[in-house]
Structure 1
């Protein structure tokens, strides 16, 4: 448990630093690029993300969950990663012109061709990063990822200010990819990893087919609407929708993304030890909702000032979208745990069935809503998100013996935290003559009141987060003390 807590602590530190850089990049670029230019980049990004997630082919997940790791496994993983990375890069490069013609956007070709260069670096980082995750070496992972985020920030913002436009993001992606590859190789120095081997490719392909279908179906659900909206509603709509999602994903990036790299290795370790996964699932759900729900409530209430601060005046159509999506995302808190718990329990096929059951109807609902308006798309998330949660529960419940009453008990204190957080901001919004469009002083008062409400409720309820904060502090203090003691003996 101390190892897991320390891993979570380093992962949180990494994600918060990366999140600060992401927010800084977004704030700068939102004032340089128009919504249409942003939508153009987001369309290219959707293509890159789809290709990148197919490229992974479950190789990293296989390394993390495998009981015994031999050199032949890692070398075969590198071989498959190299093949799929080069293949995806070549497909993007060759298809860039066709996509640019389809969208009648010549700039799209340049974006895709530049981004395809990043696939040359990925094979030399992917297996190494998976090994580091398996070993819960999140202090090393944090250093690598923060360095890559700094490189991406520096390149993107510098080129953006120099007038390069949307392609600035693509060069930032390429710079970050090569930074991760160089640092991962330098840290590990196990050059035997990069030897081509086909010894275990059959096992990897068998597992990877299912795992990659899950990953690609989930990322396709996230990215295909952007591709469809680009044709149906125009790049302006893509830019507005993507920026609304970016704002609503801030709590997810700060909380779930910090836990996500640790969750699967931790679940896999518990499964190998023969421990019950239900207790860890409920514990993880309590920790996620303790921060995510209050943050989403605050986003819903303060969407106007948050968008104005982050994006600027030209994004005035985003706050109504944010309010719908933020409320809907509250239902998706268990989603981050569905795949890890099913894979750790040896039920990867159930994870695939859950994705294939929930995502096609969800995508159809979004497309039908897009026939009406972008606001209708955001409102449809209030139907889509609960639907996905119910389907996920249907598959997780029998695997770990989870009941609705246990799920409700795990979330009741987090619900109290969310209500405590919302109390003061709701009063301020209700009394404001301009409604949601709060001024600076009102916004600061709402943020302070929300934070105070969250802290007061946390002090009075028996929430697992309170124990984890103490446990993480003790684990980190002990780790620092041991490092200092070791250094003093040298």
Structure 2
């Protein structure tokens, strides 16, 4: 099967998985916010940041090294498999040792039990992780999608049931453990049929992969720090309750980026890796990815600014109303992040994780200093505005020091790839403003539905008028 056909099939399956996951996440969020407190939400945010860091250390960038390397033999894979399991066990014990320190740092005793419990995933994950990576390398996203759908359903059901029994933060912990355990089991069952790890362990034979992985891992750590340092700082300086308000807003903003973007970016990395030596084709396809992401994400974030106002009275309980303005401000961050994500796939495909590491190191230092100062002198709204300013700097400098370095001077292609979706989104927003001024509707679920339908209609009509070729391409691929 040729690469284009594989990519199209991968997009279809990943889209299916993502849409269902998106629906489940909205369902879970809608139920959970009415049953647990902002403080529990804030504590879980700290837990997941700690777990996320540990996960990066456990993998050490080896997963992406497997995808990036064209030829890798069974002995190398076997060594990496056992290395991953050893890493998982070490992370499990290290987390247990440092958990009391984390709990003391945030002055939240419940953190100790929550982190200790969820750390069990590091014993589980390594047994299925390599099988998932190999499926991704071969673009077999149909199998990945089915497994993720099953695991997401199970995790959501457990979370909601636990929340109804007032387990607070532990309802989220149990849901995460269920999701991870089922996913790992299914990847193991499917993957073991194609690749059975041998009892073979010689780290010297995978030293090149480990070196690549370490650079990439360093880049991921800094990326993760940049994405989550605000949670760590707010949790320490402003408390778990305020962090819970901020986390809910962040979750809403991150939903499109975390659920929609991976449909494209997860496929982009292995696809880019196969064409990395042809600069012209790589450049063309990179900006196709930017175009697709902007067409999907821009109307969502522009529309969210208007629609979210109604949520304060009809969806969110009074305890969450403070998060509404934060969601509106952070929508700008979400929009910019949505077109910045693919640069990671580009760097890894070109084997230049070192560039990403250096860029993110400077970015991390700048962001940490800026957010600490902001947390001391500003309220939550001020911190959100600072986050927007940081996101603007990020998108500008990532082009100058990363994209331009790998693909050459392509600012015109960059602007062209987002211009039509930007114009269409602005026109959609103007229409919604006129609707609100003329009809002055009361905030309600009906108003939300009308805004979504009206905005969506204007956006689609505008896209059809200004970019007919893109629409025809989508229709052709959906039929093919």
TM-score with structure 1 length normalisation? 0.92
Aligned ranges 1:139-218 → 2 under 5 Å = 139-190=142-193, 192-193=196-197, 195-199=199-203, 200-218=205-223
| Residue 479 of structure 1: aligned partner | none
2:405 counterpart of 1:398: yes
Q: Which residues of structure 1 form unaligned runs of 5+?
A: 476-490
Question: Mean Cα displacement is larger for which, 353-362 or 280-289?
Answer: 353-362
Match of 2:325 in 1: 320
TM-superposition CA deviations, 1:248-280 (whole Å, max 9, x none): 122213421221211101111122677631101
Q: Superposition pairs for residues 52-201 of structure 1, below 5 Å?
A: 52-190=55-193, 192-193=196-197, 195-199=199-203, 200-201=205-206
Instruction: Give aligned pairs, total.
Output: 473
Against the structure 1 CA distance between its residues 465 and 193, is the aligned structure 2 distance closer, same or farther, given a 3 Å change threshold? farther
Q: Report the equivalent of 2:478.
A: 473
Q: Is the 8 A contact 2:65 2:212 kept in 1?
A: yes
* 2:457 corresponding residue in structure 1: 452
Between stretches 399-408 and 134-143, larger displacement belongs to 399-408
Separation in 2 of the partners of 1:260 and 1:307?
A: 33
- Mapped contact 1:432–1:438 kept (Cα < 8 A): no
Deviation at 1:11, TM superposition (A): 0.8
Residues 1:385 and 2:385 are matched in the alignment: no
Aligned partners of 2:5 and 2:427: how far apart in 1?
A: 30
Provide the secondary structure at the position in 2 that maps to 1:105.
Answer: coil
Q: Once the 2 structures are TM-superposed, how far is the Cα of residue 97 of structure 1 from its aligned partner?
A: 2.2
Alignment correspondent of 1:219 = 224
Moved more, 50-59 or 304-313: 304-313
Specify every segment of 5 or more residues in structure 2 that has no aligned partner in the other structure, as ranges.
none
Question: What is the Cα deviation at residue 472 of structure 1?
Answer: 3.2
1:351 matched to which residue of 2? 356
Alignment RMSD (CA, Å): 1.9
Contact 2:11/2:263 (8 A) holds in 1: yes
**Does structure 2 retain, via aligned residues, the 8 Å contact 1:60–1:130?**
yes
Note if 1:411 corresponds to 2:452: no
Q: Distance between the aligned counterparts of 2:157 and 2:22, measured in 1?
A: 14
Q: Tell me whether 1:291 sits opposite 2:296 in the alignment.
A: yes
**Distance of aligned partners of 1:383 and 1:121 in 2 relative to their CA distance in 1, 3 Å threshold:** same
- Structure 1 residues 373 and 355 mapped into 2: Cα distance closer, same or farther (>3 Å)? same
* CA deviation after TM superposition for structure 1 residue 194, in Å: 6.1
Query: Structure 1 residues 156 and 7, CA, compared in 2 at 3 Å: closer, same or farther?
Result: same
- Determine the C-alpha separation between the residues in 1 that align with 2:468 and 2:147: 33
Q: Distance in 1 between matches of 2:470 and 2:16?
A: 17
Q: How does 1:428-447 map to 2 (within 5 A)?
A: 428-431=435-438, 438-447=443-452
For residue 235 of structure 1, the aligned residue among 240, 252, 268 is 240
TM-aligned CA distance change 1:273 to 1:409, over 3 Å: closer
The CA deviation string for residues 162-217 of structure 1, in whole angstroms up to 9 with x for no partner, is 12111111111111111111101111224622645224331222111100001111
Query: Is the counterpart of residue 15 in structure 1 residue 21 in structure 2?
Result: no
Name the CA distance, whole Å, in 1 between partners of 2:56 and 2:470.
32
2:119 aligned counterpart, secondary structure: helix
Q: Does the 8 Å contact 2:269/2:349 carry over to 1? A: yes
- Per-residue Cα deviation, 1:325-358 (whole angstroms, up to 9, x for no partner): 1023322233211111122123221121221232
Kindly state the Cα deviation for residue 308 of structure 1 after the two structures are TM-superposed.
Answer: 5.1
Secondary structure of 2:201's counterpart equals: coil
Relative distance call for 1:351 and 1:87 in structure 2 (3 A) is same
State whether residues 287 and 464 of structure 1, in contact with CA within 8 Å, keep that contact through their aligned partners in structure 2: no
Match for 2:253 among 248, 251, 259? 248
Pair 1:308–1:85, CA change in 2 (3 A): farther
- Cα distance in 2 for partners of 1:294, 1:120 equals 41
Alignment partner of 2:93: what SS? helix
Match of 1:263 in 2: 268
Aligned partners of 1:308, 1:317: CA distance in 2, in Å? 12
CA contact (8 A) 1:328 1:382 kept: yes
8 A Cα contact 1:19 1:254, kept in partner: yes
Contact 1:124 1:194 survives alignment (8 Å): no
Deviations 1:369-407 (A, max 9, x none): 211211111111221111111121011112112422221
CA shift in 2, pair 1:312/1:217, >3 Å: same
Matched-pair contact (CA < 8 Å) for 1:245–1:325: yes
* TM-aligned CA distance change 1:471 to 1:79, over 3 Å: farther
Distance, in Å, in 1 between the alignment partners of 2:200 and 2:375 is 47
Q: Which stretch has the larger CA shift, 220-229 or 45-54?
A: 220-229
Alpha-carbon distance change, 220 to 113 in structure 1, aligned in 2, over 3 angstroms = same
Secondary structure of 1:334 counterpart: helix
TM-score (norm 2): 0.94
